[in-house]
Amino acid sequence: MKNVLFIAYYFPPMGGSGVQRPLKFVKYLRQFGWNPIVVCPEPGLYSHFDESLADELKEIAPDIYRVKAKTLFHSTGSDSKRIDYIPDFITQKIRRVQRLFLFPDNKKGWISPAVKECFNIITKTDVDLIYSTAPPFSNHIAASEVSKQSGIPLVLDYRDAWLNNHFMDEMFDWQKKKMKKLEKSCLKQASGVTGLDQFMLKGMKEVYGKQFPECKVISHGYDADDFKDHTSSSLDYQEGKLNILYSGLFYESNQPDVFLKGVSQAIRNGYFSKGEVHLHFQGGIEPRVKRLIQKLGLADVCTNYGYLPHQKAVANLKKADLLWMISNFSSEHKQIKSGKLFEYIGSQKPILGILHKGAAAEILQSYGGGFVAKVDSAVDVATKLHTIHDVWKKGELPAAKKDYVEQFDRKGLTGELAAFFDEISSMSQPRFS
């Protein structure tokens, strides 16, 4: 069994979408000959604490080394505590201020403690490979430093693009140059890179050219075990109505306005009545969105469950009639930004994606049970909802293609990652110097 030093800032007992990919890789890697040694922060203040993920981690029982991260929400090193919901407009302002001073991100204070702990591990354990998943990109800085000093091959995993990320659009030229220098230094040290889709990796290759390491697409996915779980659903299913569910938070890049306006317009146009549809939200709704729901007259057809443990959230996916998602990113950013799509796919339920052209839209079009609406058109959303409602009334909602769905099973994806690890670990040093 080979050992991989697995650097992940987001890890249980923290909840949220950023935890799923590293957790599921850790769950299955041993089945493919790799023992993960996890380096992550000590518990601190979390906006989402998920007991179901903490319990799952206990069952996996990997080697975990937790360090004091010295970041805003982990500075105390205290027991895990959940912090109240912070309005998105406040978090946006905080992020903009932090981006002026903290490079590569607001987790910079975690780099030094993580590097120190990694070397403590290396002195006691034979490590064959270093793996880092980002964001935060501070993970990659830490991992590349450990690789540089130890000579251990490095694989960098990108859940989001770094230089080609939409948040770079808000930065000054001097900030972009600094970010490019940081990313270039990490890639120079890396022997391999994994990313969610071909659009992401292609964009990076165009920037860095020959300096770009060996790369492989390993998409987000779903864990089939989660969908076998017998956790009871908490969804307040409305009989005789089309039950539509959104799972997750709303950020500045995926606000629900066009969807809600599309529902309102569909009702005004007579496509269906308010009594024929119900909207469910799990993850939390900020006050601005609640006001919009009131303004559009949809309050009596909406239920907000707030943040739910992962297993309950998955149970609700299975019970709903239709799932929906939105990505308002510029059409220039075609890569997949959310793992939500793949959890939806795991449910094998019909999905409405409000999306630009790109990887996510292509996946939905191949899925079998997918519908795609334009991100800037409430009219198009209303039209798609009309179509969906009509086929639902007839009991003819399209089914997912099971053979297509199975390619996104987390266990199989972990097998692909392990095979890539085997390839990279055979190299005695980073491929590019």
pLDDT digits (tens, 9 = 90+) for 37-91: 999 998 875 657 888 898 899 999 999 999 988 776 554 444 445 544 555 555 6
Pairing outcome for strands 129-134 and 322-326: unpaired
pLDDT of residue 76: 43
Tokens coding 299: 């309050």
Place of tokens 């770079």: 168
**Weakest-pLDDT range from 99-113, 155-169, 208-222, 295-309:** 99-113
CA distances for 400 relative to 81, 221, 406, angstroms: 39, 15, 11
The set of residues, in sequence order, having a beta carbon less than 8 Å from that of 24 and lying 6+ positions away, is 221, 223, 410, 414
- Range 111-119 average pLDDT: 97
Helix and strand numbers (H, E) in the chain are: 16, 15
Pairing outcome for strands 322-326 and 81-82: unpaired
**53 touches 23 (CB < 8 A):** yes
> 34-53 burial by CB neighbour count: b if 16+ within 10 A, else e?
bbbbbbbbbbbebbbbbebb
Tokens coding 216: 């492989």
| pLDDT of 184 above 70 | yes
pLDDT of residue 329: 60
How many Å from the N-terminal Cα to the C-terminal Cα in the chain?
A: 29
356 three-state secondary structure: coil
Instruction: Give the C-alpha separation, 222 to 161, whole Å.
Output: 21
Please indicate whether residue 329 or residue 30 has the higher confidence score (pLDDT).
30
- 60 membership: H or E segment, kind and range: helix 51-60
Pairing outcome for strands 45-46 and 154-158: unpaired
Instruction: Give the C-alpha separation, 378 to 384, whole Å.
Output: 10
For the chain, give the percent of residues with pLDDT over 90. 72
Please indicate whether residue 367 or residue 171 has the higher confidence score (pLDDT).
367
pLDDT of residue 383: 99
Instruction: Give the C-alpha separation, 285 to 323, whole Å.
Output: 17
pLDDT of residue 285: 93
Q: Is 102 exposed, middle or buried (0-12, 13-18, 19+ CB in 10 A)?
A: middle
pLDDT of residue 15: 87
The set of residues, in sequence order, having a beta carbon less than 8 Å from that of 335 and lying 6+ positions away, is 160, 161, 164, 195, 196, 197, 199, 200, 203, 358, 359
Within a 10 A sphere around the Cβ of 86, how many other Cβ atoms?
11
pLDDT of residue 101: 61
| pLDDT of 143 above 90 | yes
| pLDDT of 428 above 60 | no
pLDDT in tens, 315-353: 999 999 999 999 876 555 555 667 899 999 999 999 999
pLDDT of residue 166: 76
Q: What beta strand segments (E) does 118-159 contain? A: 129-134, 154-158
Tokens coding 247: 């799972």
Q: Could you tell me the pLDDT band of residue 210, with boundaries at 50, 70 and 90?
A: confident
- Range 407-425 average pLDDT: 98
pLDDT of residue 80: 46
pLDDT in tens, 264-293: 999 999 999 999 999 999 998 999 999 999
pLDDT of residue 90: 58
**Weakest-pLDDT range from 163-177, 259-273, 374-388:** 163-177
Place of tokens 């709704």: 285
Instruction: Give the C-alpha separation, 18 to 223, whole Å.
Output: 15
Q: Could you tell me the pLDDT band of residue 312, with boundaries at 50, 70 and 90?
A: very high
Work out the mean pLDDT of the chain and round it to a whole number: 90
Q: Which residues are registered as beta bridge partners of 247? A: 282
231 DSSP 8-state letter: P
pLDDT of residue 236: 96
**Weakest-pLDDT range from 124-133, 354-363, 390-399:** 354-363
| pLDDT of 139 above 50 | yes
Query: H helices of 232-352, where?
Result: 257-268, 287-295, 310-319, 340-347
What structural domains does the chain harbor? Answer: 2-221+409-425 (3.40.50.2000), 229-407 (3.40.50.2000)
Q: Is 253 exposed, middle or buried (0-12, 13-18, 19+ CB in 10 A)?
A: middle
pLDDT of residue 333: 52
Instruction: Give the C-alpha separation, 213 to 376, whole Å.
Output: 37
pLDDT of residue 77: 41
pLDDT of residue 432: 40
CA distances for 232 relative to 228, 235, 347, angstroms: 12, 9, 15
187 three-state secondary structure: helix
Residues in the chain: 433
- Best CA proximity match to 219, nearest among 192, 248, 190, 198: 198
